Amino acid sequence: MSGREDPLKAEKDFSATLDENIPLIEKLTDYKQAIDKYLVLEKQTRQSSDLASSKRVLVKIVETLVDNNDWDYLDDLLTILSKKHGQLKSSIQTLIKSTIDKLPNLDENVKKELDLKIKLIETIRTITDKKIFVEVERAIVLKNLSEIYLEKFNNLDKATEILCDLQVETYSLMPFQTKIEYILEQIRLTLAKKDFSQAKILSRKILLKSLKNFEKAEYLKSVYLKYLLDISTHERDYISIVKNSLLLIELSNIKENEVEYKSLLVSIIYYIILSSYDNYQSDLINKIKINSVFIKNVDSPIFKLLEIFTTNELIHWSNIEQIYKQEYFDKSDIFKDEINYKNLQKRIVEHNLRIINKYYQFIKLDRLSYLLQLSESQAETNVSELVNSGMINAKINRPQGIVKFDKVNPVPKTSIGNEKGEAPSANESINELLNDWIYDVDKLLEEVDSIGHLINKEEMMYGIKQKA
């Protein structure tokens, strides 16, 4: 029995009867006799479709059993009353909500009481299965059960499985802020499990632009952005780290924590120079370079990295190591990761190749390897990689040991202009347009993927509703 819809009007009003009988029942010394009398009233109010009176009686039943510490009887009645013929949906909701409100009375540090609590939650879980009108109550008890498995049994897998069982984003009755908090907790547990793929799927259920105009909006936005940073850090998606970090430093609760704020600013600089060069990266690094926040709050040598990576000059890896390694890189968690450190070297090689491409039409392979501070085979490999990625146009003549660069510059320019501050040429404008288009198409495909995921969820929920 899934419960009847609430009536517009009761067939008979039992409010006067309850006003007369409840005080008399409360005086009974045997609580089981009291429950029997309440059950008689429950039947009468249910059969007469008196919703208000039905709710009053059900609340009294829960209160009487809890006051007398008879949780087992309450557990039995939860199932029995929720399945009664003609039971109203709002009455079932009230019965479950009243029980949930009393659950904190059970001490989780006492094994017997903890077992009782788990038993009651499992009963509520069964009663509420596939019932939309009690979906919020179901979410509340499952969150509680998840916390119990995590904190009392140290069972992260079970806690995550329980919490991620629900798609709360489809719950029409759940307040928006509660939905966000629930999804964030799902993401937190999946990240704790190191299940970054699932965490990424869950993160798509939240839209950044929706995190505003409610009480805890800014705090929840900061939590969400930090989770996105964890996911992007695992994937080494440097540009996403920069993008989300730039949003994070705008939040007042982050600005109030000076240590965290300055650490974020430094990490933004490190990650933007680690990002692969394209139109979007070039635009961001130039915007960061002229942002006074970074100029004021970041050590000048670190800030100077922005200048080094945006000028038309070769970068010597040996000089970078000498200046930065011991003083800065060795103290940063970012560059303690060996892969990130190797990627930094790779970005310097890529930068140097772009500069060489800009000024050379032909260059000897041995001269190129000298300028790049690499072996000839390494230089050749790097040229090939950049040609394949479309960053430069070049051909290698192996018999003659010559690299020929195409003078049509494929390097995407930013909205700020080229490196010299000049207006872009026709070719540069075309390349910028194409790079913008490529980036927009990537973003579009990402959104389509996200929408497809949400549509699948909706179809699943619709199927469940039809069966219910």
Average pLDDT in the 243-251 region?
Answer: 96
Which of these ranges, 31-35, 194-198, 452-456, has the smallest mean pLDDT?
Answer: 452-456
Q: Give the model confidence (pLDDT) of 92-135 as tens digits.
A: 999 999 999 999 999 999 999 999 999 999 999 999 998 989 99
Does any domain span residue 233? Answer: no
3-state secondary structure of 88: strand
**Dihedral over Cα of 281, 247, 197, 266: its sign:** positive
Does any domain span residue 3? Answer: yes
For residue 20, pLDDT beyond 90: yes
Whole-model pTM: value is: 0.81
Q: Give the model confidence (pLDDT) of 174-210 as tens digits.
A: 999 999 999 999 999 999 999 999 999 999 999 999 9
Q: Measuring CA to CA, how many Å separate 350 from each of 72, 248, 317, 408?
A: 70, 29, 12, 18
For residue 356, pLDDT beyond 50: yes
> In this structure, are residues 253 and 261 in contact, taking their beta carbons and an 8 Å threshold?
no
H or E element, residue 434 = helix 426-467
Does any domain span residue 238? Answer: no
Domain boundary among 133, 150, 166: 166
> In this structure, are residues 312 and 355 in contact, taking their beta carbons and an 8 Å threshold?
yes
417 secondary structure, DSSP code: B
Which of these ranges, 69-73, 217-221, 333-337, 410-414, has the smallest mean pLDDT?
Answer: 410-414
Whole-number pLDDT of residue 431:
62
In this structure, what CATH number is given to the domain that contains residue 358?
1.10.10.10
Does any domain span residue 195? Answer: no
Beta strand extents in 356-427 (DSSP E only)? 362-364, 394-397, 402-405
Domain boundary among 146, 166, 186: 166
Does any domain span residue 215? Answer: no
Residue 110 is part of which domain span? 1-166
Q: Give the model confidence (pLDDT) of 222-243 as tens digits.
A: 999 999 999 999 999 999 999 9
Closest residue by Cα to residue 434 from 385, 386, 390:
390
Burial environment of residue 189 by CB neighbours within 10 A (0 to 12, 13 to 18, 19 or more): buried
Rounded CA-CA distance 300/274 in Å is 19
Does any domain span residue 418? Answer: yes
Rounded CA-CA distance 461/465 in Å is 6
Q: Which pair of tokens denotes residue 346?
A: 């790779």
Domain boundary among 166, 187, 204: 166
3-state secondary structure of 131: coil
Structural domains counted in the chain:
2
Rounded CA-CA distance 191/198 in Å is 8
Banded model confidence at residue 428, pLDDT cuts 50, 70, 90: low
Mean pLDDT score of the chain: 88
Does any domain span residue 261? Answer: no
> In this structure, are residues 196 and 235 in contact, taking their beta carbons and an 8 Å threshold?
yes
Closest residue by Cα to residue 31 from 78, 58, 70:
70
Does any domain span residue 228? Answer: no
Q: Which pair of tokens denotes residue 463?
A: 């199927």
